[in-house]
Structure 1
Amino acid sequence: MKWCPLLICLFLLHLSTRAQHPHAVFLQTATFTTGDDPRWAQPDFDDAAWKQQQVGKTWQEQGFEGYHGFAWYRIHIIIPSSLRQQGFWKDSLRIFLAHVNDVDATYLNGKKIGQTGGFPEDAGGYQSKWPAVREYHLALNDPAIHWDADNVIAVRDYDGGGTGGIFMGQPYIDLLEKTDGLQISGGAGAALTLVNTFNTPVSGTLAYTITDEVQHITVRSKTAMVQLPPFGQRSIHMEVPNRQGIVCSYRFTADGSGLQLQHTQAFPYILTPAAPQQPRINGAKIFGARPGAPLLWRVAATGAAPLHYQVAGLPEGLQVDAITGIITGTAIRRGTYKLVATVQNRLGKTSAPLTLHIGDTLAYTPTMGWNSWNCWGLSVSDEKVKSSAQAMLDKGLAAHGWTYINIDDGWEAPQRAADSSIVPNSKFPDMQGLGQWLHERGLKFGIYSSPGPLTCGGFLGSYKNEQKDADSYAAWGVDYLKYDWCSYDGIAGNDTTLETFIKPYRVMQQALRHHHRDIIYSLCQYGMKEVWKWGQQVDAQSWRTTEDIEDTWESLLRIGFSQYKLHTYAGPGHWNDPDMMIVGQVGWGEHLHPSRLTPDEQYTHVSLWCLQSAPLLIGCDLSKLDAFTLNLLTNDEVLALDQDPLGAPAERVLATAQEQVWVKKLADGSRAVGIFNMDTTYRDITIDWKALGLEAWAHTRNAWTQTNIPRPAHSVIPPHGVLLLHCSR
């Protein structure tokens, strides 16, 4: 078995965001109301008539679907003096609220103890900070703390769009200890790195055990003494085998206090074989463009450089660059053109049929690319966009069909130009130049706006300036527009008719069609009014079907596996969008961290999105791609399921609490089968091929390992993992 020590770099544990102490008091429920009133911060306010909410879940999940704006939580809690007595360091009280979407001001018994983000009325205006962890501290002698008595933690929350509330973690109160400054993560050189972020020394014992959960064996077990000076760090060398089921359990025990940090983490493992050195043509084999519109289409191919490209059958007005494989030009005549692409290098030559439709349909297959939001949030800049674009080329993603580079919220200037044109802020000095830079490299250029006066991040939206904005996008060379509902709530008001939800998207559609430019139109309005039933009416190529996704299994489960009812509404030119991908380094503009999904959950994530023919938009920092994430994003047999020209999303054919099976029809008559273990333990799952209607299908291939295998009667699948098969007669 090959050893892959570099995979340890993915082994990051966010210990500062979870309670470490046995006497922590967890905050479970709160009274809740929408609206805004400063009296609600006071401890003596009577909130008996308010609704009950579970803290740790968005309010959209608890009866307030579609609500955005101000809301308040009031958490009643007795703070026991035993906390103070049992604390070792006895420094301060910690109030941990996980995450708050999007802005919060938090009060204890009427005293404001912290604020994260900016409210609309603040001097700097609305500033979303939902990715930031909310953790507020008070000195133990602060009179705001009522020991052994009722306390009210009041949280004023403003949600500018998407989900709202206290979520993505379990809130608690406890005493801050020295160990709370200790962070443990994977470092360079296959090392487990301990970092002390406090200005006080910490010491203790680190014990770790690496086990194989499949074979039920211990790989190794070690103990090390650790002494860290203020702001110091230490690395401990580790090696792990590259195979499924390898986990590390560790426990750090602090000297003196005896407090422990402990966690169990699954190690990533690579299934995707390296691309061959001989030429291979990847990506979508079908493409659509409108007559008279500038066309840009890269023939995606892998193989040892240099590669040489030819495309036979191109219509008049189009040409291919023999060095880059980028097809450009303008086709005037409508029609379906059967092309043959040929790619060769010193090791060989390969050809593949391609189909070009010049007509009214765009996005014959789901879009594949990158979006800045899950990584950079509102801190996106020209430099960061170019860095990701260059990484898409340098790390080979473009050779596997990844094409779009999409700027999300945060690019807009505070004011429009004198003629009402939208202009970028100082982070983007030349939008037209950026578009040209991307196009020269065979990449496409995406932008973001809202039909409301403001975007979700508080920047200028397109309301009443739709044609001006469409003119700017066309001039800049934009190829993709994400149009996010956000502040249009304020325009719609209490009007909940279907036409009110359709109208703003129709207005922008008409503005975009004034130009002979193919701009993919992506509706982002979280699935309201069953957008999948009317998205095509406004010429959209995709539409969000859910609220925002997060990098947790709970979010993936709720969003990804809820799509089974929608498969009939998607197909070539119109796609259901369950949101962006949550693999790699994400952070939404705050501190980047590796996805909190386990490796098996990430295999499930990519498999499910490809089975569902979902748009694939990477959300991580591409410049920091590790080997495991690259393995997830460059498996051409898996990506081919998403890009299959039939465009038929998988149907869920079996669903129990322990397992699900999804089956996808493919253009060549074969089938893709995803078998998912929904349980938290390894399970040997029986595969009933007769019940699946595939009893006579003799040829079976594991899509992730790209190997032919005997048709399995059963398979051991890891927790929240998947077996992805390609079956043919």
Structure 2
Amino acid sequence: MPFSARLFCRPPRAARSRRSLSTRISAGVTALGLAAVTAPALVLLAPAPQAAALPNGLAATPPMGWNDWNSFGCNVTEQKVKSVADFMVTSGLAAAGYSYVDIDDCWMSGSRDSGGHLVPDPAKFPDGISGTAAYVHSKGLKLGIYESAGTKTCAGYPGSLGHEQADANSFASWGVDLLKYDNCNGDGTSPQQRDTTMRDALARTGRSILYSLCEWGQDNVWTWGAGVGNMWRTTGDINDSFGSMLSIFHANVQLAAYAGPGGWNDPDMLEVGNGGMSFTEDRSEFSLWAEMAAPLIAGNDLPGSSAATLSLLGNRDVIAVDQDSLGKQGTQISSAGGLDVLTKPLANGDRAVVLFNENAGAATISTTAAAVGLPASSGYTLNNLWSHVKTTSSGAISATVPGHGSVMYRVSTGSSTTTGTTHPLVGASSNRCLDAFNNQTAPGTKIEIWDCNGGANQQVTSTASGELRLYGGTQCLDATGGGTSTGTAVELWTCNGGANQQWRLNADGSVTGVQSGLCLDVTGGDQASGNVNGTALELWTCNGGANQQWRLG
């Protein structure tokens, strides 16, 4: 893996001076060692109680929001930031909990003014940071800003070393709500010392500013971070690949003892929706980050998000696990052969359980209610947080998990099931409902996707025999002519008990025909143009695509 991609808090997308890069290499050797050995090195760390949380009253649950760097790098502008704020509101992400709109490096001019103050780049931010903050605040959101605890930022702009109080005062006067504090171009002193200086400067401003430490996991930051900041990076930078995400997961999952209300382990921004990982891999990252009580900071171009990406970022059941008031980071209880089981206690006594398959091929992953920490009971409910399908169990927790995929359950005592209940069936690639064309009931009616509207032609009842019935149970979802080849159309037909009318609602969110073994597929839905109203459903080889993923509405 390239050196620069794993060592620093800044992906190598913006030009840097020779001085900046060499300084970071010198300062970051410890972080490189951590990234290179990840799990084996961290196994040796003895768990310790979390340090006393920073007394600023912030981050009772992991912060949620967006950061511009992965999408825009040094091309950030006021207009782009405002557009993201608008989209967070109109898309429903703000209502789901996303609140911080964070400006990363390159927002400032190349030098301070005559009074030693930072100057926002007037071309990029014509209304200044204060004007941008006012706009973001008008949307009910909060603004974050970036600086570095050195002479220069990672991209070569003025750093805060020696100017901590002046810069903190500027941030407060501009209305900033979060500071992301990087570790480039330091003076040889420890990150803890320099981070603490800024902590005290922020406190003296009298404004509540969430403090995000970005020192790449140096100096065992998790052991002292809670007394200095509200969140702290535990590794080098993530990049948009499954291998990078997996490496960071391995490191961060072992640090559960150090996180809690007011201070959180930060495995870096989400890469969900950036295109380097599959839909299945993106869903694994979001599941794992939520299970680890990580800050959920989106890093994609939010206004350009597909419906599939928004189905991940906006899943409120998974967000609720991340934001649970108990404030516990999930722990890994088994990992044999790359088949991982994580458990996270929740405030109401439930457990969030993630079954994660690190391998390329599908595998069955199993555990028990007792192993994940639930009390003895005559029955348990497994609520699949991605498909919203509920099943009952006497204690076994098991699923076939696709390669690089995950299954996430909220497990509770007592028995409940969605079999026999009626719900719309919503496609992840379109956010549209399975629909019988034009409310028709005749055998042979086309099955399509359409905007969800609550109509009887969109209400699906699953039966114990595996049928998916519409219109109150009089008509069934049917593979046309009993076809078992790819491209077979799906239609409405009088229920007759045939194998071509039997379906499995799988733990990974796919729906397969019992007779064919093929997946219920939005035709052409793997393309951006293939998820419009009226698009037909068909059978197709299961491939993990978002157009083969469904959830109960």
TM-score by length of 2: 0.66
Which residue of 2 is the match for residue 476 of structure 1?
174
SS in structure 2 at match of 1:529: helix
- Name the CA distance, whole Å, in 2 between partners of 1:432 and 1:609: 32
Which residue of 2 is the match for residue 719 of structure 1?
403
Q: 2:143 aligns with which of 441, 445, 453?
A: 445
- Name the CA distance, whole Å, in 1 between partners of 2:16 and 2:399: 51
Q: 2:88 aligns with which of 370, 374, 392?
A: 392
SS in structure 2 at match of 1:514: helix
Which residue of 1 is the match for residue 62 of structure 2?
366
| Per-residue deviation, 1:507 | 0.9
Identify the structure with the greater strand proportion.
1
Which residue of 1 is the match for residue 239 of structure 2?
550
Contact 1:101 1:157 in 2 (8 A): no
| Per-residue deviation, 1:639 | 0.2
| Per-residue deviation, 1:390 | 1.1
SS in structure 2 at match of 1:710: strand
Name whichever of 410-419 and 678-687 sits farther off. Answer: 678-687
Give deviations 1:395-452, integer Å, cap 9, x for gaps. 1211111110000001011111111111111211221111111111101010000110
Which residue of 2 is the match for residue 349 of structure 1?
none
Q: What are the equivalent positions in structure 2 for 1:133-282 lying under 5 Å apart?
A: none
Letter in 2 for 1:683: A
Which residue of 2 is the match for residue 485 of structure 1?
183
- Name the CA distance, whole Å, in 2 between partners of 1:434 and 1:118: 26
Contact 2:16 2:156 in 1 (8 A): no
SS in structure 1 at match of 2:118: coil
Which residue of 1 is the match for residue 50 of structure 2?
none
| Per-residue deviation, 1:66 | 8.3
Q: 1:160 to 1:707 in 2, by over 3 A?
A: farther
- Name the CA distance, whole Å, in 2 between partners of 1:577 and 1:613: 9
Q: 1:398 to 1:418 in 2, by over 3 A?
A: same
Which residue of 2 is the match for residue 620 of structure 1?
300
Q: 1:717 to 1:66 in 2, by over 3 A?
A: closer
SS in structure 1 at match of 2:272: coil
| Per-residue deviation, 1:120 | 3.4
Q: 1:559 aligns with which of 248, 263, 267?
A: 248
Which residue of 2 is the match for residue 706 of structure 1?
388
Q: What are the equivalent positions in structure 2 for 1:229-628 lying under 5 Å apart?
A: 360-426=56-122, 427-429=124-126, 430-488=128-186, 491-492=187-188, 500-538=190-228, 540-585=229-274, 594=275, 596-628=276-308
- Name the CA distance, whole Å, in 1 between partners of 2:251 and 2:196: 27
Q: 1:455 to 1:161 in 2, by over 3 A?
A: farther
Which residue of 1 is the match for residue 330 of structure 2?
650
| Per-residue deviation, 1:58 | 2.3
Q: 1:709 to 1:722 in 2, by over 3 A?
A: same
Name whichever of 609-618 and 697-706 sits farther off. Answer: 697-706
Q: 1:379 to 1:685 in 2, by over 3 A?
A: same
Letter in 1 for 2:301: D
- Name the CA distance, whole Å, in 2 between partners of 1:580 and 1:161: 22
Contact 2:67 2:297 in 1 (8 A): yes
Contact 1:102 1:159 in 2 (8 A): no
- Is 1:679–2:375 an aligned residue pair? no
SS in structure 2 at match of 1:723: strand
Give deviations 1:104-163, integer Å, cap 9, x for gaps. xxxxxxxxxxxxx46437xxxx7x9xxxxxxxxxxxxxxxxxxxxxxxxxxx99969879
SS in structure 1 at match of 2:219: coil
Contact 2:147 2:181 in 1 (8 A): yes
Contact 1:160 1:486 in 2 (8 A): no
- Name the CA distance, whole Å, in 2 between partners of 1:158 and 1:534: 22
Q: What are the equivalent positions in structure 2 for 1:6-45 lying under 5 Å apart?
A: none
- Name the CA distance, whole Å, in 1 between partners of 2:95 and 2:386: 18
Q: How many percent identity over aligned positions?
A: 38
Contact 1:101 1:159 in 2 (8 A): no
Contact 2:62 2:293 in 1 (8 A): yes
Which residue of 1 is the match for residue 319 of structure 2?
639
Contact 1:484 1:525 in 2 (8 A): yes
Identify the structure with the greater helix proportion.
2
Q: 1:569 to 1:702 in 2, by over 3 A?
A: same
- Name the CA distance, whole Å, in 1 between partners of 2:8 and 2:73: 22
Contact 2:85 2:139 in 1 (8 A): no
Q: 1:502 to 1:487 in 2, by over 3 A?
A: same
- Name the CA distance, whole Å, in 2 between partners of 1:501 and 1:162: 11
| Per-residue deviation, 1:686 | 3.1
| Per-residue deviation, 1:690 | 4.0
SS in structure 1 at match of 2:410: strand
| Per-residue deviation, 1:378 | 1.0
Which residue of 1 is the match for residue 412 of structure 2?
728
| Per-residue deviation, 1:102 | 6.8
Contact 2:382 2:412 in 1 (8 A): yes
Which residue of 1 is the match for residue 371 of structure 2?
691
| Per-residue deviation, 1:657 | 2.1
Contact 1:162 1:547 in 2 (8 A): no
TM-score by length of 1: 0.50
Q: 1:402 to 1:600 in 2, by over 3 A?
A: same
Q: 1:513 to 1:158 in 2, by over 3 A?
A: closer
| Per-residue deviation, 1:643 | 0.4
Q: 1:638 to 1:714 in 2, by over 3 A?
A: same
Letter in 1 for 2:385: A
Q: 1:162 to 1:377 in 2, by over 3 A?
A: farther
- Name the CA distance, whole Å, in 1 between partners of 2:111 and 2:230: 30
- Name the CA distance, whole Å, in 2 between partners of 1:652 and 1:638: 18
Q: 1:447 to 1:713 in 2, by over 3 A?
A: closer
Contact 2:5 2:238 in 1 (8 A): no
SS in structure 2 at match of 1:388: helix
| Per-residue deviation, 1:598 | 1.4
Contact 1:543 1:577 in 2 (8 A): yes
Give deviations 1:325-358, integer Å, cap 9, x for gaps. xxxxxxxxxxxxxxxxxxxxxxxxxxxxxxxxxx
- Name the CA distance, whole Å, in 1 between partners of 2:398 and 2:97: 33
Contact 1:101 1:158 in 2 (8 A): no
